[in-house]
Structure 1
Amino acid sequence: MHHKGIRTRLKVDQSLMIAPLLDIMFLVLLFFMLNTSEGNIHSFDVDIPQAHQPENRYPMEQLVVIIRSAEMGYTINDDFVAEVDFIPTLKEKIRVLGVKQILLLASESADYGRVMRIMDAMKQAGASGVSLGVENVE
């Protein structure tokens, strides 16, 4: 007797068998290891030019202000300036050089409040923009 309405399904195993894949990967690895010859590796010497550090690292047409944690003043284009003289000195440098963009370099250990105060002082001196630079200034 046949039942027309009843069907049985065969369960198909959907799992992925890893062992044959590992065998194939091992064989491919072995194939490439054996076929890759170390051969003659040629090398040649290259003369790399050495960079030199000029005495004045910053161009004179650019204003660079450096804040070091150990000093109480600031450095403007390699000239040390006391904190009380900062704004008048910076105004004079801006007038002489005709540059209103300033690059500010501060040491990692410089006080955040001090950096913010000097940025405000730069704006008071007439700077139109202040860029923060990353450089080891200690």
Structure 2
Amino acid sequence: MKIERTKRRGKGELTLEITPLIDVVFLLLIFFLVATTFEDINSGIKIELPQSTIREIKDIKEIQIAIDKNKNMVLNYKEKGKTQKVNVNKENLKAELEEKFKNSADKNVVISADKKLDYGYIVEIMTISKEAGANSLDIDTASSK
């Protein structure tokens, strides 16, 4: 930041260069915009995903069902640009999914289940999701890289 003293009619007048200040403000603005857009969708529940060598990343609206090894479930979805998290159990999952699908054209469900979870339980969750109206069911895996 540069402060100059200019002389006019014998009095010293200070001027402040604001160009560097504007640069710093824009850099801070960009930093905060980028830093606030990253959000961990699994932050409500700890899951250890199974490994996979093939992984396709889709850019679609979806509802994620995160299930930990103790069968605790969290329903993650975006509503009005914000990620919402709802704790659910097997009994009220269908009602919650039907409510979320009511006003949505995208009825995609991604199941993120802990690798130690019983496969039969995952199939039950997939069946409930399909009965609730899901068009697409995917199982999330971790990249083996």
| Pairwise TM-score range, normalised by the shorter structure | 0.5 to 0.7
Equivalence for 1:85: 92
Give TM-score, length-normalised by structure 2: 0.50
Measure the CA separation in 2 of the matches of 1:60 and 1:93.
15
Q: Which runs of 5+ in 2 are unaligned?
A: 1-33, 43-58, 77-84
Query: Larger RCO: Structure 1 or Structure 2 (Cα < 8 Å, ≥ 6 residues apart)?
Result: 2
Percent of aligned pairs sharing the same letter: 21
Give the Cα–Cα distance (whole angstroms) in 2 for the partners of residues 73 and 125 of structure 1: 19
Moved over 6 A (4+): none
* Aligned ranges 1:1-138 → 2 under 5 Å: 54-55=38-39, 57=41, 61-70=61-70, 72-77=71-76, 78-135=85-142
The higher radius of gyration belongs to 1
- The equivalent residue for 2:25 is none
Q: Secondary structure at the match of 2:109?
A: strand
- 5+ residue gaps, structure 1, are 1-50
Greater share of helix residues, 1 or 2?
1
**C-alpha RMSD over aligned residues:** 2.9
Q: Which stretch shows the higher mean deviation, 56-65 or 82-91?
A: 56-65
1:101–1:60 distance in 2 versus 1, CA, 3 Å: closer
TM-score (norm 1): 0.52
- As a proportion of its length, which structure holds more strand? 2
What is the identity, as a one-letter code, of the residue corresponding to 1:61? K
Aligned residues: 85
Q: Residue 61 of structure 2 contacts residue 108 of structure 2 at CA under 8 Å; is this kept in 1? A: no
* Residue pair 2:65, 2:109 contacting (<8 A) in 1 also: yes
